[in-house]
Structure 1
Amino acid sequence: MKIKVEIDLQELIEKGDFKTLKRVLEQQDPADVKEMIEKLPPDLKVVVFRLLPKDKAAEVFSELEPDDQLELIKLFREERLKEIFESMDPDDRVELLEEMPANVVKKLLSYLPPQEREELLYILNYPEDSAARLATTEYVELFEDMTVREALEKVRKEGKKKENIYSLMVIDRTRKLKGTVELRDLIVADPDQKVSEIMNKDPVFVHAIDDQELAAELMKKYDLIILPVVDSEERLIGVITFDDLVDVIEEEATEDIQKMASMSATYTSYFHTPAWKLILKRSPWLVVLLLLESVNGNIISSYEKFLASIPIIAAFIPTMIGSAGNTGAQISALMIRGFTLNEISLKDWWKVLLRESLIGSTLGLILAGVLYLRAFLISSDPTLNFAVATALLVLILYANIMGALLPFIARIFKIDPAFMAGPLLTTIVDVTGIMIYFYVVHSFLS
């Protein structure tokens, strides 16, 4: 187990003890260095990067938030910036260029040799969330007509410069993907065997235009550490490695959490996201939800005379709204998880409807029974209490069905089901729930 040592880098820099600082940095992993320098001022970050070897500097730089990267690009000397950018993995370069202004992109591209620049631009031409954007060209490719001896020689020759050598891509002379072969299979095979004899001839792969989420699902399903990416003619253009899968899963989880809170997604960390951007992400939905909630005022005013005659029924409104909202939020979370993990599909809507009708009825009966008894602490009228309990039963059943079916409706209209959870679902249930509550109680007591 690695023990993390707390070192005050700023103190070392201010003392001018660069010898100790360099020794400390050499002993740290790139991820630890990134954590250590995060809170340093930009000019001190530059000092740290001067002392890092270029490969480690590239790894640390690729892990930083986009605003920190832009600040450092402005402060780096030309030669240092060129070294770092050239040492970055191809997929990290793509991610960096996606976040940078056009003038910075142009500057960075000028540092690359023509062939690497062409490969990078080729990847950047694919849609933003496509599998191609995650692809790296840092892999070893073998030809199917190679012998095992020739293949191992190629691995020894190129392996040190590549990101992954444990799973190797096999192509023909037109670069068409023919299979994959594990390094361990090469090592134990007869040196004179052909690669085509020991390779997996039915490899799992994704097309360049496929969504990144599909790539993550395939890697998870088949326990892959590397996934080939091919073009429309199944020619190999790159591979996705496991570390990129982790990033995709984190981004998807972030997106779902924020959509469930009814806000547009933002992928930078909280303190690295400008306040104005958070306001822009949050305010549109808050305005929409405010306007929806304001409908409640019209509904309540339409029952003004009824409320005036039996004022006590107003005391149960928060209970109705809260219980229905909680019920809807619970089931919608289960549905969204089911969709995300492909446990539920659109064709299952009727099974879900029947199942949740039963579950909703049972939950409604339990909560209605509890409320009926609890209501006697507020009202001594059994008829009123029974009417309120019945209204809650209907509301819980309704909220449960709504929470289950709204994600299906979202899928039909190609909207992320996560949008149908949280505040949006609660607001919909609030508005319609108030109508149901007053209608049921009014029917019993009028």
Structure 2
Amino acid sequence: MGETEITFFEDLIRDKDWSSLRHELEDMDPILIAEIIDELPEQDDIILFRLLPREQAKNTFQYLPHEKQEQIIEGLAKNVNRVAGLLNDLDPDDRTAFFEELPGNITQRLIQLLSPEERLIATRLLGYPEHSIGRLMTPEFVAVKPDFTVEQALKHIRMYGRDSETLNLIYVVDDNWKLIDDIRIREIILADPGQHVRDLMDEHFVSLYAFDDQEVAIRVFQDQDRIALPVLDSEGLLLGIVTVDDVMDVVEEETTEDFHKFGSFQAAIVNPLKARIFFLYQKRILWLIVLVFMNVFSGAALATFEGVIQSAVSLVFFLPLLIGSGGNAGAQSATLMIRSLAIGDVETKDWFRLLGREFLVSFLLGVTMAAGVSLIASVRAPQYIVVVAATMILAVMSGSLIGMITPFIFTKLKLDPATASAPLITSIADISGVVIYFSIASWYMGL
């Protein structure tokens, strides 16, 4: 949202031109309204939010950053009815996500503003472990009984489907609410009105369990290509559903978290423009200090081969190129392994098989890159072509194998494999690259 648009809304608020302001907001997308509110100065943002109609306010609230959501709630605190209406109108899964970020005492106070029905839903959702599927699910779905006729089922859907998260799938439950099947709405619409729901059932469905980790939901959605999945308890009772948009939010959070870890951040940083300077410093300094001390080993390795370097100074020209190639190969390999481990394509038991494959792939990569660097060496230092080419092959192979093995080691130690970050792997590859390079040079020169 540009400064001109923000200034325009600030001017309308300053001039108290409420009719023009309402007119501007009337047909605006909730996402754009949320962007405007986020950019407006304090107090102006609350004024604009107060002017939104009930439905528009509900849709806009879920797109606001958490800090802004808290600010809006605080600003509306004098109007208890408005706060209660907003919280009651929010979808249960969006409301749960908001409550999770608040201090416990504030959450409890806000829960008391909910209607008895919504309060029951909120406390049940908040009772599931953090990062569990139970925290993602919504109880807004449509279920029918197997002895319903198609005509009865359609009447039931029309009556209760308005508030459902999705109507693509209709769930079939018994008298105890145990899930029996799910049926696509298309099949019900096209069926004969006199048919019974049980006639449309195949009793084959895919489900999730409320206490499973959210990553389970990600894998199941990827494998099953569904837009919604039912959530059951340990006895098979239907508790709610999880939709693909909720899972995609989790995927984005997991990807962001892994990205920051892979770059050697201690924790995900929300926004580097808004975060405090000391916070940014605190989250980055530890890994950088660790890597500084690791790079001391590179210096020690160079010092060990000081005689070789003095005898052939031209070898230093190729040093950044060779160890950089090893580090890049290691980072590539680590990225592939971390992603594969995260989405379940590979498991720790596969590491030996993958080691053999990575050995062959890295050898081919090393040979190809050695051919390229040999052309450079033929112009710069033709007498050392063998040293440079052999080092390139071994550096790429060692870097690749280090990059592949390290995430498996972290996984085996019950640590997040994303912590096997690029700078760490690059530093290890650098040290091994220096040792390989000057060891080969020393052997070749007979020193």
What do the CA deviations read for 1:171-201 (whole angstroms, capped 9, x no partner)?
2222211111222222222333332221352
Instruction: Please say which of residues 314-323 and 46-55 is displaced more in the overlay.
Output: 314-323
SS of the residue corresponding to residue 42 of structure 1 reads coil
Question: C-alpha separation between the residues in 1 aligned to 2:433 and 2:159?
Answer: 69
**Aligned ranges for residues 20-59 of structure 1 at < 5 Å?**
20-59=20-59
Q: 1:62 to 1:397 in 2, by over 3 A?
A: same
Q: 1:116 aligns with which of 110, 115, 118?
A: 118
- What is the identity, as a one-letter code, of the residue corresponding to 1:131? I
Say if 1:278 and 1:203 are closer, same or farther in 2 by CA, change over 3 A: farther
Give the superposition deviation at 1:291: 2.1
1:86 matched to 2:83: no
The separation in 1 between residues aligned to 2:58 and 2:216, in whole angstroms, is 28
Distance 1:162 1:303, change over 3 A: same
Partner of residue 193, structure 1? 195
Poorly superposed stretches of 4+, deviation over 6 Å? none
Provide, for residues 79-121 of structure 1, a one-character-per-residue CA deviation record: whole Å limited to 9, x for no partner.
Answer: 2222111110000111001111223212211111334323322
Residue 370 of structure 1 corresponds to 372
1:234/1:279 CA distance change after superposition, 3 Å: farther
Amino acid at match of 2:409: I
Query: How many Å apart are 1:316 and its aligned residue?
Result: 2.8
Q: 1:252 to 1:156 in 2, by over 3 A?
A: same
Partner residue, 1:11: 11
For the pair 1:443 / 2:443, whether they are aligned, the reply is yes
Matches for 1:27-176 after TM superposition, within 5 Å? 27-76=27-76, 77-176=79-178
Structure 2: gaps (5+ residues): none
DSSP 3-state at the match of 2:226: coil
Q: 2:250 — aligned with what?
A: 248
Amino acid at match of 2:18: F
Change (3 A) 1:350 1:146: same
CA change 1:183–1:369 in 2 (3 A) is closer
CA pair 270-183 structure 1, distance change in 2 beyond 3 A: farther
Give the AA of the match of 2:293: L
**For this pair of structures, how many residues does the alignment match?**
440
1:1-28 deviations in Å (ceiling 9; x for gaps) = xxxx967322222222211211221201
1:403 equivalent in structure 2? 403
Shift in alpha-carbon separation, 1:433–1:153, aligned structure 2, 3 A: same
What is the CA–CA distance in structure 2 between the aligned matches of 1:240 and 1:205, rounded to whole Å? 10
Structure 2 vs 1, CA of residues 141 and 42 (structure 1 numbering), >3 Å: closer, same or farther? farther
Gaps in structure 1 of 5+ consecutive residues:
none
Separation of aligned partners in 2, 1:184 and 1:275: 55
Greater Cα offset, 414-423 or 60-69? 414-423
Contact 1:289 1:427 in 2 (8 A): yes
Matched residue, 1:209: 211
The CA distance in 2 between the partners of 1:46 and 1:137, in whole Å, is 30
Aligned AA for 1:21? L
Worse-matched range after superposition: 420-429 or 224-233 = 420-429
3-state SS of 2:303 partner: helix
2:58–2:90: 8 Å Cα contact kept in structure 1?
Answer: yes
For 1:369 and 1:413, how far apart are their aligned partners in 2? 39
Q: Does the Cα contact within 8 Å between 2:145 and 2:173 map onto a contact in 1?
A: yes
Give the conservation status (yes or no) of the 8 Å contact 1:307–1:314. Answer: yes
Cα 1:125–1:438 shift into 2, 3 Å: farther
Partner SS, residue 175 of structure 1: coil
Q: Is 1:232 the equivalent of 2:246?
A: no
- Alpha-carbon distance, 1:378 to partner: 4.2
The correspondence of residues 294-313 of structure 1 with structure 2, limited to 5 A, is 294-313=296-315
Contact map agreement 1:67 1:272 (CA 8 A) in 2: no
Q: Which stretch of structure 1 is more off in the superposition, 140-149 or 18-27?
A: 140-149
Task: Tell me the equivalent position of 2:358.
Answer: 356
Distance in 1, Cα, partners of 2:9 & 2:185: 41
Letter paired with 2:386: F
Q: 2: distance between equivalents of 1:230 and 1:288?
A: 45
CA separation in 2, counterparts of 1:80 and 1:266?
A: 34
Secondary structure at the counterpart of residue 192 of structure 1: coil
Structure 1 207/74 Cα, relative in aligned 2: closer, same or farther at 3 Å?
same
Name the stretch that deviates more: 113-122 or 90-99: 113-122
**Structure 1 residue 437: Cα displacement:** 2.0
TM-score (norm 1): 0.91
Per-residue CA deviations over 1:214-249 (Å, capped at 9, x if unaligned) read 212222322211111111112111111122122122
The answer on 1:430 being equivalent to 2:430 is yes
- Seq. identity, %: 35
Question: Which secondary structure state, in structure 1, belongs to the residue aligned with residue 167 of structure 2?
Answer: strand
Give CA-to-partner distance per residue, 1:253-306, whole Å, 9 cap, x none.
212222221223427344454444333332222222222222222222233344
Q: Tell me, yes or no, if the aligned pair for 2:261 and 2:268 is still in contact at 8 Å.
A: no
Which amino acid is 1:193 matched to?
Answer: Q
- On the 8 A contact 2:142/2:167 being kept in 1, the answer is yes
**TM-score of the aligned structures, taking structure 2 as reference length:** 0.91
Corresponding residue number in structure 1 for 2:295: 293
Contact 1:9 1:37 in 2 (8 A): no
Q: Are the aligned partners of 1:42 and 1:72 in contact in 2 as well (CA < 8 Å)?
A: no
Aligned-partner residue type, residue 104 of structure 1: I
Between the aligned partners of 1:175 and 1:285, the Cα distance in structure 2 is 51
Quote how far apart the aligned CAs of 1:31 are.
Answer: 1.6
**Hey, what's the Cα distance between the residues in 2 that align with 1:267 and 1:174?**
46
**Which residue identity does 2:70 align to in structure 1?**
L
